[in-house]
Amino acid sequence: MGAEVVIASLLRVAKDDLDAARRLSSPVNRNAIYHCEQAAEKIIKAILTSEGIHAGIRHQLGEMVDSIPDANPVKPMLRAIENLQAYATTYRYPTAGGRIPDSPDQKAVEAAAAKVHNALTIVAAKFGVDFSKANAPAATAAPIR
């Protein structure tokens, strides 16, 4: 039951990250897109966990998606959110010259949040994760096929 717990926990934390992104998106806060990236990262890691692949601690979403077998039908959907890897650190720190990057456009944040929400909804359903039951494991940890 270990993988079922990890998958459910990753998806629950992804949901929290997505909720944070939405709270910070109107008016847009520079950290909103970071939380979208974090949610995407956790969704991808849940998929990798089901595939028996340990992602470790990294933000290279494209490389992580590359590791998912092509037989997994959610892989194309994850490709649509892998571009969020650019925001893992973009808005967290000032530039080397000390400049704080401008906040992302609100519409871009909302579009990213919508894609992440779609992925989270589909992946949680495939694994049988019930967000209303705190700490309950996923119904399955089998790879999605």
What does the pLDDT look like over 62-81, one tens digit per residue? 999 999 999 999 999 999 99
Q: Residue 138 domain-assigned?
A: no
- pLDDT for residue 1 is more than 70: no
- Reduced to 3 states (helix: H, G, I; strand: E, B; else coil), residue 81 is coil
pLDDT bucket at 104, cuts 50 / 70 / 90:
confident
Q: Residue 115 domain-assigned?
A: yes
Please write down the HEC assignment for all residues of 73-89.
CCHHHHHCCHHHHHHCC
What percent of the chain has pLDDT above 70?
99
| The one-letter amino acid at 46 | A
The pLDDT, as a whole number, for residue 5 is 97
Q: How many domains does the chain have?
A: 1
Q: Does the model's pTM come out above 0.85?
A: yes
Of 127, 45, 107, nearest to 82 (Cα)?
Answer: 45
Checking phi first, is residue 8 left (phi over 0); if not, alpha (psi -120 to 50) or beta?
alpha
Q: Residue 91 domain-assigned?
A: yes
Q: Residue 92 domain-assigned?
A: yes
Q: Residue 25 domain-assigned?
A: yes
Supply the range of the domain harboring residue 116: 2-127
The pLDDT, as a whole number, for residue 27 is 87
Q: Residue 135 domain-assigned?
A: no
Q: Residue 140 domain-assigned?
A: no
Of 24, 10, 13, nearest to 109 (Cα)?
Answer: 24
| 18: CATH | 1.20.120.330
The pLDDT, as a whole number, for residue 44 is 98
The pLDDT, as a whole number, for residue 73 is 98
| The one-letter amino acid at 92 | R
Q: Residue 74 domain-assigned?
A: yes
Question: Rg of the Cα trace of the chain?
Answer: 15
